[in-house]
Structure 1
Amino acid sequence: MEGGQYKPLTQSDMVAIHNAALEALETIGLADAPPSGVAHLTGSGAIEGADGRIRFPRALVEDMLAQANRSITLSARDPAHDLELSGNRVHYGTAGAAVHLVDVASNSYRECGVQDLHDAARITDVLDNIHFLQRPMVCRDITDNLEMDLNTIYGCCSGTMKHVGTSFTDPAFVAPALEMLHMIAGGEDKWRERPFVSNSNCFVVPPMKFATESCQVMEACIDGGMPVLLLSAGMAGATAPSTVAGAITQAVAECLAGLVYVNAVKPGHPAIFGTWPFGLDLRSGAMTGGSGEQALLTAGCAQMHGYYGLPGGAAAGIADAKMPDMQAGWEQMCSNVMAGLSGCNMIYEAAGMHASLLGFCHESLILGDDIIGQALRCVRGIEVNEETLALDQMREVCLGGPGHYLGTDQTLSRMETDHVYPTLGNRASPKEWDELGKPALVPNATLRKEAILAAPSRARFDPVLDRAIRERFTIHLPE
């Protein structure tokens, strides 16, 4: 789908944000780059000040923008699910690294584990409107960080054939993870040809500081041929300016610094411009992922991605609501529609996220597929041509015809192209609904979840490969 219809920023607004971001990079700079990063950046023309901050001359940023990769394809294990990120192409997926699972049956939260993550991957694999799986939960049942990172990859990749995004807690963990990915791919050469996992990298700690270990992870991932998401996640009013324009400006500045970093390490390496500023409720200090401000932040960021012509990603679809209820529905729909209409390439956290990213819900993931289906219909827009203007139909129906369009050839032939039909959303009359036993949305989502998880995963590994992985690594997911 091609977005880009919604433009909350004018051209002069975008120029102003761009110039402010360049001034911030040139005069404020970023602190705490690792020694390797200092070497890469200063070797490319950045300046290390006496205060230890790295500053970026305007010409350097413009040069790096010129050599950045502008057309990225994120591969999937199944090529049918490859994601082309050029232009205003829109893709929705998960993310969030929640620490709790939402249990709708008991109306409560519990710590999530590797089985929950694997189940989310399996559900994602069969949902038409969820295009990729970035780790939506943390494996809280695995205390060793290396084993957690490796089991995250195993749990995701054995659950879905779609593109996977993940993080690493230590630079030293990238090498064994790549070893596992080489095994899954069938060799390092095949992995490098089609890397089906990307690194979600929080390379900055806003405001305007590099995250030292994450930068080292990023360098290791670049060396290993893994695409990276340059993720800047400031909180407006706390770690970013409280204004929408200011939060976007800081996120743009930080991601431009990351873009310079990536291209200093390896020119043209696939990198997603991940401006993820979040809203904040200044009355309580709580994150407001489901707010109108969040929708504007994401849409404005998407416009800036387009301004630079860079593949970009931002966050939408987050619910502050604790359960999949009416509040969750309006929160998820608002930002998902605006993000899609703005032409954001990668819309993260678009389904399943509750409690401002603290909780993930399998049922909400399934219901989110319906929400995103409607959002994508909005993105697709209105098709205007001789056929859709329907003058011939009007003549046929009104001049001696039945006086209605029910059952006409055109109505029947375009049912599936002009309209989107929800999988679980109920459009029955009250009488029909009563006769059907008054089906409810969340219980029906639970039934669908159970049906999906009862079937074998198409992404499961060949038994010989699975045995080899389990012999090489400590895998916590039961066979």
Structure 2
Amino acid sequence: MTDQTKIRSGGRAARRAARAAPLPDHMRPVRAGLTGGAYRPLTADGMDRIHAAVLDALEQIGLADAPPSGVAYLTGAGASLGTDGRLRFPRTLIEDTIARANRSITLMGRDPAHDMELSGARVHYGTAGAAVHLVEVDGRTYRECGVQDLHDAARIADTLDNIHFLQRPMVCRDISDNLEMDLNTIYACCSGTTKHVGVSFTDPSYVAQAAEMLHMIAGGEDKWRARPFISNSNCFVVPPMKFATESCLVMEECIRHGIPVLLLSAGMAGATAPSTVAGAIVQALAECLAGLVYVNAVQPGHPAIFGTWPFGLDLRSGAMTGGSGEQALLTAGCAQMHKYYDLPGGAAAGIADSKLPDMQAGWEQMCSNVTAGLSGLNMVYEAAGMHASLLGFCHESLILGDDLIGQALRCVRGIEVTEETLALDQMRAVCMGGPGHYLGTEQTLGRMETDHVYPRLGDRTSPKEWSELGKPDLLAKATARKAEILSRRSAAAFDPALDKALRERFVIHLPR
């Protein structure tokens, strides 16, 4: 072997070793916070007309059923209470609120590595929902889900690169006491992941005890307020155009305890919102802007996510159509309006109406996940694991969703045009006296990890290779991956002393 051959061989081995090593975050082909915004289903004139309709709706129709405290906060901010009990919002109040609102919010994880900056068109994908069933792929069955299932979902999400946050995807149906359910939801999620967690509260009186638990996990109230690692998913409205009285009181309590709030408006187009895509967007925006006035009247500058979540409806049957093209447009249009107002926002995408992780689920989940990311949605909720129009959650589908979202994020990243990526030097070298192909060139090898996303479970083998490997099944691979993750101790598990203290103070249903 010549010295030159040794040099070439050593260089190739070094390159292989470098490719095998984990990439630094800034060099990964996809990551949290990539900038979208290339997809704009609304024209500039369309956005202006939607905004004008929103202002008219708030000034002329307003919202009903605010609690007395909400009436006081909102009238104090400049809204007017009519004899019909509806609060109406002058245009100047809405415009002033938008002008003063936060342009950037950081949602924090227990581990700062998972902090998410919500601003501009930075995109993050995660879970959400309140499924009452767990989808079991081995028997193709649905059963009621419990606290262990929720904890397992958190543990799985903690290991998935393209799941950036965990908003509670399931309800603990095995806990009948609502206070214990709310507290155990926090415990199950936070002991399973160090990513940001979203939860809901059933009653305003529960928030103080939840805050006590959060202070213990954080190491003190001061540490919690400095880095709040959960947010409250708050359905503060009952569409169309009514405040949800008790949820508004929950929201007020969350603000007092330093918990960031997701202002969630979830109208159903054709039922509780107008049937047209534009009309459903107008109503969602109007409701969330009223909520933004409310939050800033309670505490100016409190972190609030602009959560327009209009959903599609099959007008033939009344069934929800979370996996439809209309849903994709609803979400993308909302995201575009978030940018119009320059407000940090979120909406729903990635929902499958299919009951199992099958081909239908694949096209439904990818359709809205891609358009949501391309539209620059800051928080893409319900992006993985959700089936049966939010009635079922599936652990295997969550794992497969990580692969799917990786491809969606690659679309969000887009096409970089530089002297290097235009590749004229490579073309000259390869075509004029070179090997006639680009396989093995320094540029190809140097960029294969930074430019390309490789699925972890998706199969790209040839039919011959696939057959030789025993014809591996995608769901079986996801099930094996789930078993592998859950066989290890969670990296997010609480310190034994903290866990003991939490179990002594609260009724914890999750087994040790």
Q: Residue 341 of structure 1 corresponds to which residue in structure 2?
A: 374
Render the CA deviation track for 1:234-289: whole Å, top value 9, x for unaligned.
00000000000000000000000000000010111100000000000001100000
How far the C-alpha of 1:11 sits from its partner, in A, is 1.1
Partner SS state of residue 127, structure 2 = coil
Task: Report deviation, 1:418.
Answer: 1.4
Letter in 2 for 1:92: Y
1: CA distance, partners of 2:120 / 2:504? 44
Farther off after superposition, 56-65 or 154-163: 56-65
> How big is each residue's C-alpha offset from its partner over 1:286-326, in whole Å with a ceiling of 9 and x where there is no partner?
00000000000000000000000000000000000000000
Q: CA RMSD in A?
A: 0.4
Name the CA distance, whole Å, in 1 between partners of 2:432 and 2:138: 56
Report 1:95-244 matches (<5 A). Answer: 95-244=128-277
Amino acid of the structure 2 residue aligned with 1:320: D
Q: Name the aligned partner's letter for residue 249 of structure 2.
A: Q
Query: Which ranges of structure 2 fall in alignment gaps of 5 or more residues?
Result: 1-33
Please, which of 17, 31, 52 is the counterpart of residue 19 of structure 1?
A: 52
What is the letter of the counterpart of residue 217 of structure 1? V
1:85: which partner in 2? 118
Q: Which residue of 1 aligns with 2:31?
A: none
2:428 maps to which of 395, 398, 416: 395
Residue 19 of structure 2 is matched in structure 1 by none
1:57 to 90, 99, 105: 90
Q: Distance in 2 between matches of 1:6 and 1:64?
A: 27
**Which AA in structure 2 matches 1:311?**
P
State the Cα deviation string for residues 95-118 of structure 1 (Å, max 9, x = none). 011000000011010000000000
Partner of 2:285: 252
3-state DSSP of counterpart to 1:17? helix
- What fraction of aligned residue pairs are identical, expressed as a percent? 82
Equivalent position amino acid for 1:25 in 2: L
8 A Cα contact 1:273 1:311, kept in partner: yes
Query: Is the 8 Å Cα contact of residues 207 and 240 (structure 1) preserved in structure 2?
Result: yes
Q: Distance in 1 between matches of 2:222 and 2:210?
A: 15
Deviation track 1:140-170 (CA, whole Å, cap 9, x = no partner) reads 0000000000000000000000000000000
- Partner of residue 326 from structure 1, selected from 359, 383, 392: 359
CA shift digits 1:45-77 (9 cap, x unpaired): 100000111000111111111221111000100
Residue aligned with 1:318, SS: coil
Letter in 2 for 1:215: C
* TM-score (ref. length: structure 1): 1.00
Which amino acid counterpart does residue 75 of structure 2 have in structure 1? T
Q: Secondary structure at the match of 2:380?
A: strand
The structure whose Rg is larger is 2
Structure 1 stretches of at least 4 aligned residues deviating more than 6 Å after TM superposition: none
What secondary structure sits across from 2:264 in the alignment? strand
Q: Which amino acid aligns with 2:66?
A: A
SS for the counterpart of 1:85 is: strand
For structure 1, the residue ranges without an aligned partner over 5 or more in a row are none
Per the alignment, in what secondary structure is the counterpart of residue 48 of structure 2?
A: helix
Kept after mapping to 2: 8 A contact 1:157/1:164: yes
- How far the C-alpha of 1:6 sits from its partner, in A, is 0.3
Mapping 1:302-313, distance limit 5 Å:
302-313=335-346
Equivalent residue letter for 1:328: A
Equivalent AA in structure 2 for residue 126 of structure 1: T
In structure 2, what is the Cα distance between the partners aligned to 1:344 and 1:446?
30
